[in-house]
Amino acid sequence: MGFLYSFIASMLAAIPFWLASRAVILAYKNINNNDFSHFQTVLFLFIELSICCAGRFLFLYLKAKSQESIGFQIAADTRLEIAEKLKKTSMGYFSKNNVGSLLNAVTTELSMLELQSTKMIDVIVNGYINFLVLCLFTFVVDWRVGLVVLFASLLGSLIIELINKKSRENSKTANQVQTKMANNVVEFVKGINIAKTYGQESTVLNGLKTVFAQSKQIRLKIQAKFVSLNCMLLMLLDTATVFIIIICIANQRHGQLSLNFFVTLVFFAYVLFNNIKEMTDATHILGAIDDNLHHLKQLEKMPLIDTEGMDLKLTHHEIEFKNVTFGYEKDEEKVLHDITTLIPENKTTAIIGPSGSGKSTLCKLIARFYDCDEGQVLVGGHDVKDVSYKSLTENISIVFQQPYLFHDTIKNNILFGRADASEDEIIAASKKACCHEFIMQLPQKYDTVVDEGGNSLSGGQKQRLSIARAILKDAPIIILDEAMASIDPENERILQLAIESLVANKTIITIAHRLATIQNADQILVMDAGKIVQRGNHQELMAEDGIYHNFVNISQNAKKWQLE
């Protein structure tokens, strides 16, 4: 409807020129000849003119309302669509594509489309329609004027196409700079504490200034190319207008053109060429956002890992790896090599090994953050690729080494575990996680808003809240990814109690370096260079001369050194 409203408004903008020219000529004749017989006609013309103007403003309002609502709706739907796809995207995508690129896509790029695309398309479409109507009118009135209009319009179209081509070429460069700028700003904000610690604020800020300067220079260069072509077009159209006026004056003096049509043609030439000027600006803007569209289309084509999975209710929860091989990049060395093992239900399996041996990667495959390259990962007897991501994650809770809290209330952060939980259930989970006491000491208690990432809380407090979240979810499979690796001794005892409440009667996979956490596990998997090199319980592995035996000796010696 927006295009229809726009077309009607454009026609209502052209008609007043013809009405005004007739009214002015009749009024001039009446005054010049002291003949007021046409006064009533002039009055009616001005009334018609007023109606056209009022109608134009009405349809312009309807057009703006329609187009803006469409633009905002399209942008909102696209943002939601991207968000839905991100939920089902492999974690590898986030490793390859930084935050700044995604941020630029869903904010800056979509905002450009939101504000400009429908308006500019409307300007171009209706510009061509108006051009055809008015050009036809000029040919009917005076074919010579029509030829000038046609010639100028054809040359103008070539320049507009050149502007569009240049804008499309420059769009990619401009967006690359915009993305780089967004990345640098995000990095600057995230790394400001480190920069201050080492007194390198100026170095980081200078890097930011360099990117800003590059952005300015590139945009000035792009704008300079547009301005030169635009000036060429304006010169062409102004020259054509002068020729039209000369032809009209010559024809009017020779009696080949009435005064009424003379004034009308001059007005219409102005309207026609003004449409072309507006189309030029619109073409430049659409060309400039062309790469935005391409980037957004690429986002919509991002690889998904949950497209054919079924919603299943898992009745048992053992985990099995069958000949699993995996690498983060196809062309790089594999991180896991032919892994085959069983993690029994309702038992605790500890995974140890040197840094980079593949411990965390193994756990990420269970939660299907990535899909394995070869082999199968089965949960409850089902290949994780055959189970919908929603069904799978309902059965798994993960407590990370570095917990993340959202910029929201403590209550809502805990509710991420189960959105429909009651207040009593939230408090019960918090008490089990040993965090109810410190929450009640906060100014707004459970309604206290934490900073982004939970930076207003200590590491131990954040970890306890993440455990409360996992307790509330009550998933049958728990993955503890070095959950106590960076916890001080005072918090370790509290967290150990919280974890004991979490893991009761669950299938537990724990990645740990603390001997106390490992030696009581039902099964211990020892990894090295992407392979499982030992498996068994503490007593069985201590009887072997291997990595685990060396690990225990080092841990015990370190404990003696601390005591001494």
Last residue of a domain, one of 474, 499, 520: 474
Domain check: are 104 and 192 in the same one? yes
Q: Which amino acid is at 221?
A: K
Burial readout 237-276 (b: 16 or more C-beta within 10 A, e: otherwise) = beebbebbeebbeebbeeeebeeebbbbbbbbbebbbebb
pLDDT of residue 426: 87
pLDDT of residue 288: 60
The CATH number given to whatever domain includes residue 384 is: 3.40.50.300
Helix axes 259-288, 201-253, angle to 10 degrees: 160
* Sheet of 382-383, strands arranged across: 336-343, 319-326, 374-379, 382-383
pLDDT of residue 357: 83
Our measurement of the distance from residue 335's CA atom to the centroid of its chain's CA atoms, rounded to an integer in Å, reads 30
What is the DSSP code string of 8-40?
HHHHHHHHHHHHHHHHHHHHHHHHHTT--TTHH
Domain check: are 270 and 386 in the same one? no
pLDDT tier for residue 185 given thresholds of 50, 70 and 90 = confident
The model's pLDDT over 425-439, given as tens digits with 9 standing for 90+, comes to: 888 888 888 888 888
Domain check: are 204 and 273 in the same one? yes
Q: Could you tell me the two tokens for 151?
A: 């010639």
The CA distance from 218 to 172, in Å, is 11
The structural domain count of the chain equals 3
Q: Could you tell me the two tokens for 328?
A: 């983060």
The model's pLDDT over 289-346, given as tens digits with 9 standing for 90+, comes to: 666 666 666 666 666 766 666 777 777 888 889 998 988 877 778 888 888 989 888 8
Domain check: are 123 and 200 in the same one? yes
pLDDT of residue 561: 45
Give the alpha-carbon dihedral of 397, 401, 405, 410, to 10 degrees.
70
Q: Which residue has the higher pLDDT, 2 or 117?
A: 117
Q: Which amino acid is at 500?
A: E
Are 113 and 74 spatial neighbours (Cβ–Cβ below 8 Å)? Answer: yes
Q: How far is CA 525 from CA 108, 351, 418, in A?
A: 47, 5, 31
Q: How far separated are the first and last CA of the chain, in Å rounded?
A: 83
The model's pLDDT over 373-411, given as tens digits with 9 standing for 90+, comes to: 888 888 888 888 888 877 888 888 888 777 778 888 888
pLDDT tier for residue 564 given thresholds of 50, 70 and 90 = very low
Our measurement of the distance from residue 175's CA atom to the centroid of its chain's CA atoms, rounded to an integer in Å, reads 14
pLDDT of residue 370: 83
The model's pLDDT over 107-158, given as tens digits with 9 standing for 90+, comes to: 666 666 656 666 666 666 666 666 677 677 777 777 787 788 888 878 877 8
pLDDT of residue 466: 84
Residue 69 lies in a domain: no
pLDDT of residue 142: 75
Domain check: are 422 and 529 in the same one? no
Domain region containing 448 = 405-474
Domain check: are 161 and 261 in the same one? yes
Domain check: are 481 and 379 in the same one? yes
Q: Name the helix (H) or strand (E) containing 511.
A: strand 507-511
Place of tokens 């939970």: 454
The CA distance from 47 to 41, in Å, is 10
Place of tokens 């909102």: 76
The CA distance from 307 to 440, in Å, is 44
pLDDT of residue 469 exceeding 60, the answer is: yes
The CATH number given to whatever domain includes residue 198 is: 1.20.1560.10
Q: Which residue has the higher pLDDT, 458 or 11?
A: 458
pLDDT of residue 51: 74
Q: Which amino acid is at 160?
A: I
Our measurement of the distance from residue 200's CA atom to the centroid of its chain's CA atoms, rounded to an integer in Å, reads 31
